[in-house]
Structure 1
Amino acid sequence: MNNYLDFEKPLAEIEGKANELRAMARSNAEMDVEKEAAALDKKAGDMLAKLYAELTPWRKCQVARHPDRPHCKDYIETLFTDYTALAGDRNFADDHAIMGGLARLDGQPVVVMGQEKGNDTKSRIERNFGMARPEGYRKAVRLMDLADRFGLPVITLVDTPGAFPGKGAEERGQSEAIARATQRCLRLGVPMVSVVIGEGGSGGAVGIATANKVLMLEHSIYSVISPEGCASILWKDAEKMREAAEALRLTAQDLEQLGVIDKVVKEPVGGAHRHPAAAIKAVGEALKGQLKQLSNVGSDEIRANRRRKYLGLGAKGLAA
């Protein structure tokens, strides 16, 4: 693994030494280093488990943003079959920051959509780093209209630092577009399940995550503002992001306790970026379980369920 986070540097040294030993053995058949390498592997495994069992909120932010973490495109390609992408908002343009379309999950027809950040320089620029413009949210509304019309459950995969704050986006009605998307989520007569797979930033996330069931991966984050942005506003110092991350209660564990989300999906030891296939599989199983629970619920009750959920938001945390 090439991309180590700053708190993983001791781990990088141990894994690097094990790799060096094995590389030396490959160039010299007479060397037997497997015992020493295995000991280093065990030490690294123990350190990895300890590091990830004791992650602070700020470290969880770093893990949630890891460049090797699986993105929306990876989940769609792995979990869904017969995926047919739909493009454009029928008004201005197609926003590549939000991808979505018709697909099947374990044979069940669904509408799936989410923010895609990209995985290299070219795709990140094309996807605008997962920051959608108004046309992205209007495309999301179009997909939800389609789902409602044909009675298809909606699945959304949330991974964005926030909606794009540029001048053009504001000129085209960014806040109105997010509000309309949120409103459409609330009025859906079909089940909607959202999963925060990385970052869930501000209204940019809420616009496609106002669902019947909201899930989060174990090391993902969900917050009204980034820790850096919060620190800049409150303390005029972005370097206080660690304190801001603590205060924001943005981890999956905190949000489950507060009743903001419904379920935490466990990640492999070391995070989703170390074992993408296992993380994607866990999300798939969680999605199938949630859809099964909602499968026999009528449209009126689906809407009422969602209404109760959001009107009662925070009550669990206050009671605690």
Structure 2
Amino acid sequence: MEYLDFELPIKELQDQLEKCQVIGEESEVDVTQTCKKIEKKLLETKKEIYKNLSAWQRVQLSRHPDRPYTLDHIKALCGDSFLELHGDRNVKDDKAMIGGLGKIGDQTYMFIGQQKGYNTKTRQYRNFGMSNPEGYRKALRLMKSAEKFGIPVVTLIDTPGAYPGLEAEERGQGEAIARNILEMTRLKVPIITIIIGEGASGGALGIGVGNKVLMLENTWYSVISPESCSSILWRSWEYKEQAAEALKLTSPDMKRLKLIDGIIKEPLGGAHTDRKATFLAVKNAIEKNYEELKNLSPKDLVNQRMEKYLNMGVFKG
């Protein structure tokens, strides 16, 4: 288990608990009460730390190396029923954007999401979760296929942004993202979008237009990352914590501003501390929101989606 800097008090207590348990196992000394006291203190410390997380700390949790990625969620939700589909039928298959058909219970969904890597080799293979234009065009192809067969779409967002390389711009990165946003507004099947990690910039919006948009508790969704915002405004990354607070990018901020529809609660300590509980919460959220959408007509689905986005940012003076 890797610990972030603000989690060090938890690490110290966890180490103490393990030492206490070892002493109990290797000697005849009864350390039961001592272990219980440490366990109680550990639980209290966890509650205190995770109850008062800053925006920057939530950003750090969203990037935790042990946090489940898109394929982890899909495999947990669908098991062996998931069939991955490849290619944009134009340039190539973008490994940073994955998609395919899978079942939750008896209902088939088209899953689409960004995939990051677990180590240096797979991070390069997945391009750090940053999609090229062909990734967004693959996503659109799959969404159109889902529309043709009346299959609901579930998008899982976890990206530091679309790939900003010269080749990506030459192949029409901006147009690919804009096209997806346009087409998703008028797709005639339900779209459920869930931010499971980082939701940065147009890279997230390219698959982020949904009838229902949800965020896991310790994720972020913003036009720019705190580091990039800091480097633009202060010419330094040192102010990333201040930038994170100002950007209002956390799930409670987004819910309060009515930019998302709901927050999926994570286990105490983050999604990586109890993956099964996280997967179950995501599964329940998908099923619950699909129940609300499945009886709407194609016209009503489009109208609801358009109305939702047209109302964003509207206020009375």
Q: TM-score, normalised by structure 2?
A: 0.97
Whole-angstrom CA distance in 2 between matches of 1:260 and 1:314 = 9
Q: What's the secondary structure of 2:189's corresponding residue?
A: coil
Deviation string, structure 1 residues 43-95 (Cα, Å, up to 9, x no partner):
11110111111001111111111111111111100112411000011111111
Whole-angstrom CA distance in 1 between matches of 2:29 and 2:127 = 50
What letter is aligned with 1:227?
P
Q: Is 1:255 the counterpart of 2:254 in the alignment?
A: yes
The sequence identity of aligned pairs, in percent, is: 47
What letter is aligned with 1:75?
H
- Matched with 1:36 is 34
- Matched with 1:66 is 64
Deviation string, structure 1 residues 152-183 (Cα, Å, up to 9, x no partner):
00001111111111122112111111111112
**CA distance 1:268–1:116, shift in 2 (3 Å):** same
**CA distance 1:242–1:78, shift in 2 (3 Å):** same
Query: Is the deviation greater in 285-294 or in 96-105?
Result: 96-105
What letter is aligned with 1:263?
G
Q: Number of matched residues?
A: 316
Q: What's the secondary structure of 1:30's corresponding residue?
A: coil
What letter is aligned with 1:38?
K
Whole-angstrom CA distance in 2 between matches of 1:206 and 1:85 = 22
Whole-angstrom CA distance in 1 between matches of 2:100 and 2:72 = 15
Whole-angstrom CA distance in 1 between matches of 2:126 and 2:71 = 11
- Matched with 2:156 is 157
What letter is aligned with 1:202?
S
What letter is aligned with 1:312?
N
Whole-angstrom CA distance in 2 between matches of 1:77 and 1:53 = 30
Whole-angstrom CA distance in 2 between matches of 1:319 and 1:261 = 20
Q: What's the secondary structure of 1:80's corresponding residue?
A: helix
- Matched with 1:102 is 101
Q: CA deviation at 1:29?
A: 4.4
Q: CA deviation at 1:33?
A: 2.5
Whole-angstrom CA distance in 2 between matches of 1:230 and 1:306 = 29
Q: CA deviation at 1:34?
A: 3.0
- Matched with 1:80 is 78
- Matched with 2:277 is 278
Q: Is 1:288 the counterpart of 2:287 in the alignment?
A: yes
Whole-angstrom CA distance in 2 between matches of 1:31 and 1:85 = 55
Q: CA deviation at 1:110?
A: 1.2
- Residue pair 1:64, 1:198 contacting (<8 A) in 2 also: yes
Q: Is 1:20 the counterpart of 2:19 in the alignment?
A: yes
Whole-angstrom CA distance in 2 between matches of 1:32 and 1:195 = 48
- Residue pair 1:160, 1:198 contacting (<8 A) in 2 also: yes
What letter is aligned with 1:66?
H
- Matched with 2:225 is 226
Deviation string, structure 1 residues 123-148 (Cα, Å, up to 9, x no partner):
22211111111111011011011011
Whole-angstrom CA distance in 1 between matches of 2:291 and 2:316 = 30
* Structure 1 segment 1-320 matched on structure 2, within 5 A: 2-26=1-25, 28-81=26-79, 82-315=81-314, 318=315
What letter is aligned with 1:288?
E
Q: What's the secondary structure of 1:261's corresponding residue?
A: coil
Whole-angstrom CA distance in 1 between matches of 2:145 and 2:308 = 24
Query: Is the deviation greater in 207-216 or in 115-124?
Result: 115-124
Whole-angstrom CA distance in 1 between matches of 2:173 and 2:31 = 59
Q: What's the secondary structure of 1:18's corresponding residue?
A: helix
- Residue pair 1:218, 1:267 contacting (<8 A) in 2 also: yes
Whole-angstrom CA distance in 1 between matches of 2:258 and 2:205 = 15
Q: CA deviation at 1:319?
A: 5.3
Q: What's the secondary structure of 2:192's corresponding residue?
A: strand
Which structure 2 segments of 5+ residues have no match?
none
- Residue pair 1:144, 1:184 contacting (<8 A) in 2 also: no
- Residue pair 1:217, 1:265 contacting (<8 A) in 2 also: yes
What letter is aligned with 1:298?
S
Whole-angstrom CA distance in 2 between matches of 1:319 and 1:43 = 48
Whole-angstrom CA distance in 2 between matches of 1:277 and 1:152 = 26
Which structure 1 segments of 5+ residues have no match?
none
